[in-house]
Structure formats: structure tokens, C-alpha cells
Amino acid sequence: MIPGRPRCSAEARNRHEPLTATASLVNAWLLIEQPGAWGPDALLDSRLPLAVARALLAKANGLGIRILLIRRRPAPTGRHPIAYLAHSGGGGRPPILVSGAVPDPQALLDLDLAALAQGRPQGFGRAVDGPIYLVCTHGRHDICCADHGRPLYRAMSALLPGRTWETSHIGGDRFAANVVVLPRGDYFGRLQPDEAQSFLAQYEAGRLDLAHYRGRSSQPRLVQAAERFLRAAVPITGFDDLELVSAQRPVQLRAEVVFQGPGPMLRRVRVAAEASADAVYLTCRAPAMDTPVDYHLLSIETL
């Protein structure tokens, strides 16, 4: 954090910045359990051997895979660290999540990341039954993530200790506390500890908490916006109540997105994006101001 500057999350709350369509764009994920401290660049600034970290990063970057470090407090003892491979689906592929033990960090280099990028992780671990919840607590990346993420992690892990993890940076520091749920890649922001029970109950029942929903990582931002506006307008909260049928961009900053559901009903949602009128600091460590993107609902039409 830069001394004298207000916290980015407090400023975003004060200006009522929307959460709509702010999920990071990620399809494939590699999560590595790594207890202990994480530096600003968690993968390269942790206890993971630097040569392994650099080799993994080179592979993952070439395949579009997001690597996150995860941990629990207190750190488990008496077992090997674990890793998760996840793909958030889309394009006709279902979300998938597998996990397995990693007895030696060098074994991470044997993972078939090319298969993971294609949505079919193989040769490692076993399928995980149920989602996992990743709470960003990466304070060395942005102090807001520690201030808001750690209390939320404590509340959520008390309720679902076997499926809740601290995670390194997932994007959107100014929306802390942030959570991403895998394998679907659903992002949520500005969650408070006293909302943990309601949030988890809804998600475990297959419903999205729209008040905190940022979008789904496997969808382009204009599609995220269209889905969020439609869900709020009806409202529709069930995971499977909407299916993306088509998305077209007649011009660069506009989209026409067709969804089916609930049932056979088709709806066309038109949305537009534009740069915000005001430049802001997007993170506590940002060296300069930038302009976030605002999304606008143009119309919802039943077909």
C-alpha cells in the first residue's frame, strides 16, 4: 500500500462501484498447497523451489492456465501437500475438479497441463465431489485482501473446513473480500463474515448470491454482464436455470446475448460497455490511476 492513500476497497465502496462483470477471465486452474508466507508474486515468492515455480509459470502462461497458491490455518500436518486441477467448463464442456497429493514439488512438472487446458485433466488424482471455496487473503499483494479476506476465511472455514482455502491473488482487490468457487469459476465480492452462512447455504443448494456476484470466469465480460442483468431482472439464481445459447458483438463495446431458461424460454439481452467517467486507483499498490469499465443494460427481449 502507498502511504497516505485510502484503501482501494473503501474507495470502491464509497463510490458504489458495481461488481457486475468483474470476474477474471480464466478457464483452467492449477492450485498448489503451499503453507507459509507468500510475497507479492506468490508463486515466485514462497517456499516452492524457484526453479519449479519458474518452469510451471512458463508452461501455464503458454496454455492460459491460472496458478494459485492455497493454504489453511493452521497448516495440516502428517500428510503431503495437495494440488487441484480445475476447468470451469464452457463450450459444451462440463466443469471438472480433481485433486491429489504432491509428495515432491518436482512432481508438479509432470502434470499434463496441456490436457488440463483442454478441459480433460488426466493422469493425476481423483475427482472431487462438491465445490471448493477460495478466499483471497493475499495481503502482500494488496492489504485489502488481508483486512477483509482473513476474517471471511475464518468464518467460512468454520462452516466448511474441508472445502475452504486461503488463496493467492484472484483479481479485483478493490472488491475484497473476494471468493472464487471452483470448478465453475464463480466470483463473488464484498462478502462479510456475517454473510458467510447464507452465502454458503445458497451455493451448496445450487444458487448464486446475486448481491455479491461478480460473474463467471469462463465467460467474456460482456456475457458476464448480460447474465448478471438478466438474473437480477427476473430474478434467476439457480446455476442451471440459464444456458448460454449465443453471443454476438455487432460493435466492439456492445453484445447481444441469448439465454435459454428457465425451461424452454429464450431471452435476448443487449448490453454495452464504456470507460468510467472517473479515473481511480484500481488497487492499493497501483502506481497511477486508471478507468474501470461500466456496463449498461440496453434491453431484455423475450423471443
- What would the pLDDT profile of 193-226 be if each residue is shown by its tens digit? 999 999 999 999 999 999 999 999 999 999 999 9
Strand order in the sheet with 254-260: 243-248, 254-260, 266-275, 293-302
CB-based contact 79:101 (threshold 8 Å) = yes
pLDDT band with cut points at 50, 70 and 90 for residue 230: very high
| Grid cell locating 31 | 492450485
Long-range contacts of 283-292 (CB under 8 A, 24+ apart): 283/8, 283/142, 283/173, 283/174, 284/1, 284/2, 284/5, 284/7, 284/8, 284/142, 284/143, 284/144, 284/173, 285/1, 285/2, 285/40, 285/141, 285/142, 286/8, 292/17
Segment 52-80 shows an average pLDDT of 93
Whether residue 294 is predicted with pLDDT greater than 70 in this model: the reply is yes
Quick count: other Cβ atoms within 10 Å of Cβ 41? 14
Helix (H) or strand (E) holding 267: strand 266-275
| Grid cell locating 240 | 442451471
| Grid cell locating 134 | 477460495
CATH topology of domain 1-219: Glutaredoxin (3.40.30)
CA distances from 51 to 47, 54, 159 (A): 11, 5, 37
Instruction: Give me the chain's average pLDDT, please.
Output: 95
Q: Identify the residue with better confidence: 78 or 288.
A: 288
